Structure 1
Amino acid sequence: MSSIRDGRTDLASALGDVTRDFAGVVSVSRGNVVEFEAAFGPAERTHGVANRVETQFGIASGTKGFTAVAVAGLVGAGVLALDTTARSLLGRDLPLVHPEVTVAQLLAHTSGVGDYLHPDATGPAADPDDYVLPVPPHALADTEGYVAALAGRAQQFRPGARFAYSDSGYVLLALLAERAAATPFPALVGTHVFAPAEMWSSAFLRSDRLPARAAVGYVGDGRSNVLHLPVRGCGDGGAYSTAGDLRRFWTSLFAERILPRHRVAELVRPRHREPGTGRRYGRGFWLPATGPAVVLEGCDAGVSFRSVHDPTSGLTHTVLSNTTRGAWPVTRRLDDLLR
């Protein structure tokens, strides 16, 4: 099913079983033309507030793509370089970060820095609904606040030796960008990503002060995620966005309204394969095992998100959910329907 412009009813029917208990938004578009868009379930359960297609959702690690684009913008402006070392901006902070770690390695998850959320890289991954933060959530309200969370994490391997997905690496990128530009990281993303793409509904919101348009995230037993995640996200996750803004992001990125073509190409060029899955990674973006598509995705307590864009056809499908696992059955079905 390559196009569903005249098949809204058919697609709704095809998604029926996987959206029955789903909370979130599903969107399919080609370029700027919306072919299907619908909202499901509650945005806030206590007062019965429904999700709408304009609702803002947390996108967890989907934020890493925004971080990579913002850093690429700073590189283009001469504020950072790909070979800038972390140590050159950290000073005496985080002494366990290897002196050879560079911006390029952090972007590609080859830095080897210790992970603040999953410090035991050899053990089983924590359940997203567990309490995993090493410091109180309220302490993580700005980028500098994350230094305490990153502290004491031993280097996992020599920089550049291999690929290992790292949340700490992208927090560190945000910290380096903020220090190099002398500008708060959320403002940098606003300047280098949100403004040129006209993503006026995207922001780094505080989870303890969400606006009326934002969905509350819920974990499996119905609790909100406010005690599970940083009160305000950073380079590794925590941005809020909408289906419309993500559509504008993809079209703007590949139309060179955010970055020049050669810098976009460097971000989405496959560099590594994830062991066990075969899917590929560029800098801030996932890529399927084969084909031209580019993917942003994220999963955390009360958040699941995936947005897939094919720059050759302009086809985009996005699923945003305010539950931990709600997006996955829906996005898998869309993969099958739209291949």
Structure 2
Amino acid sequence: MQKILVAGLLFMSTLAVAQLPERLDSLMRATTKPNEPGAALLVVSQGKTIYRNGYGLANSESKTAITPETNFRMASVSKQFTAMGILLLEKDGKLSLNDPLSKFFPEFNAHVGQKVHIHHLLTHSSGILDYEALMDPQQREQLLDADVLALLKNKDSLYFEPGTQFRYSNSAYCLLALLIERVSAKPFADFIRQRIFQPLNMVTSTVYEAGKPITNRAMGYRKKTLRLFFPIRA
């Protein structure tokens, strides 16, 4: 009886896997429309690709469809790569997570630079000011990391004592990207490509660099009305 039960469960599992592509197709078609911005979906189980497809448009102006090869902007999910870059430099013996910010950014206000350490930046516990609150409200172009440093370096205050609270910080990761450049003596994009993408065979992944084209790029959009979408090009 036990053997029959196990065999039955295996049959049900095999059947569920066989039906998965059809069920996922149905789900994706119900949530995305062919003439609107969409998504790509990949399902991998035990190293085997079970499902791989794209839906909707990568670019609503050119009507380019999303495919499994479409390159999406990762936004803040890319922070994990910046963090890994810092850990690689620590492994190389080029920095310590206990190093103060001022060791690598002597131009930073001394009060802040001495209190904030690298591990505070990594763990969103630095208390460093949000650059979004300091930038010109009329700013329309995307700020570079160097622009963020210029906004922060002369500030002598923090939201809280480093290490005492958690506050998600884009400012911290802009500084960490600059720190990677200063310690490695390489552009951030080159460092990430050489130390992370290439060893992991991430051959289609890239870091955004102003003026350089991105192959198979999907534009980001925000919905303003029920059927009206505006591109986010940054």
Which TM class, normalised by the smaller chain length?
0.7 to 0.9
Alignment RMSD (CA, Å): 2.8
1:137 maps onto 2:141 in alignment: yes
Following TM superposition, by how much is the alpha carbon of 1:223 offset from its aligned partner in structure 2, in angstroms? 2.7
1:148 maps onto 2:163 in alignment: no
**Cα 1:211/1:190, change in 2 over 3 Å:** closer
Partner Cα separation in structure 2 for residue 101 and residue 206 of structure 1: 28
1:96–1:152 CA contact under 8 A, matched in 2:
no
Give aligned-pair identity as a percent: 28
**Cα 1:62/1:8, change in 2 over 3 Å:** same
Following TM superposition, by how much is the alpha carbon of 1:16 offset from its aligned partner in structure 2, in angstroms? 4.0
In the alignment, what sits opposite 2:175?
172
1:194 maps onto 2:197 in alignment: yes
Partner Cα separation in structure 2 for residue 208 and residue 2 of structure 1: 49
Give 1:34-113 correspondences, 5 Å limit: 34-93=49-108, 97-113=112-128
Partner Cα separation in structure 2 for residue 135 and residue 176 of structure 1: 25
Following TM superposition, by how much is the alpha carbon of 1:148 offset from its aligned partner in structure 2, in angstroms? 2.4
Partner Cα separation in structure 2 for residue 193 and residue 207 of structure 1: 21
- The alignment's TM-score, normalised by the length of structure 2, stands at 0.79
Partner Cα separation in structure 2 for residue 149 and residue 31 of structure 1: 47
**Cα 1:225/1:167, change in 2 over 3 Å:** same
Following TM superposition, by how much is the alpha carbon of 1:180 offset from its aligned partner in structure 2, in angstroms? 1.6
**Which structure 2 segments of 5+ residues have no match?**
1-11
Following TM superposition, by how much is the alpha carbon of 1:17 offset from its aligned partner in structure 2, in angstroms? 2.6
**Cα 1:216/1:14, change in 2 over 3 Å:** closer
1:135–1:149 CA contact under 8 A, matched in 2:
no
Following TM superposition, by how much is the alpha carbon of 1:99 offset from its aligned partner in structure 2, in angstroms? 1.4
Following TM superposition, by how much is the alpha carbon of 1:69 offset from its aligned partner in structure 2, in angstroms? 1.0
Partner Cα separation in structure 2 for residue 224 and residue 139 of structure 1: 18
Give the helix-richer structure, 1 or 2.
Answer: 2
- The alignment's TM-score, normalised by the length of structure 1, stands at 0.56
What amino acid sits opposite 1:12 in the alignment? Answer: D
Higher RCO, 1 vs 2 (CA within 8 Å, ≥6 residues apart): 1
1:43–1:51 CA contact under 8 A, matched in 2:
yes
Partner Cα separation in structure 1 for residue 204 and residue 220 of structure 2: 17
What amino acid sits opposite 1:172 in the alignment? Answer: L
1:40–1:50 CA contact under 8 A, matched in 2:
yes
Following TM superposition, by how much is the alpha carbon of 1:209 offset from its aligned partner in structure 2, in angstroms? 4.9
What amino acid sits opposite 1:75 in the alignment? Answer: E
1:43–1:215 CA contact under 8 A, matched in 2:
yes
In the alignment, what sits opposite 2:31?
18
What amino acid sits opposite 2:93 in the alignment? Answer: G
Deviation per CA, 1:42-84, whole angstroms, max 9, x where unpaired? 1111121111110111010000011111111111011111111
**Cα 1:22/1:112, change in 2 over 3 Å:** same
1:211 maps onto 2:226 in alignment: no
Partner Cα separation in structure 1 for residue 29 and residue 62 of structure 2: 25
SS in 2 for 1:219: strand
The structure that has the greater radius of gyration is 2
In the alignment, what sits opposite 1:225?
232
Give 1:264-283 correspondences, 5 Å limit: none
Following TM superposition, by how much is the alpha carbon of 1:117 offset from its aligned partner in structure 2, in angstroms? 2.3
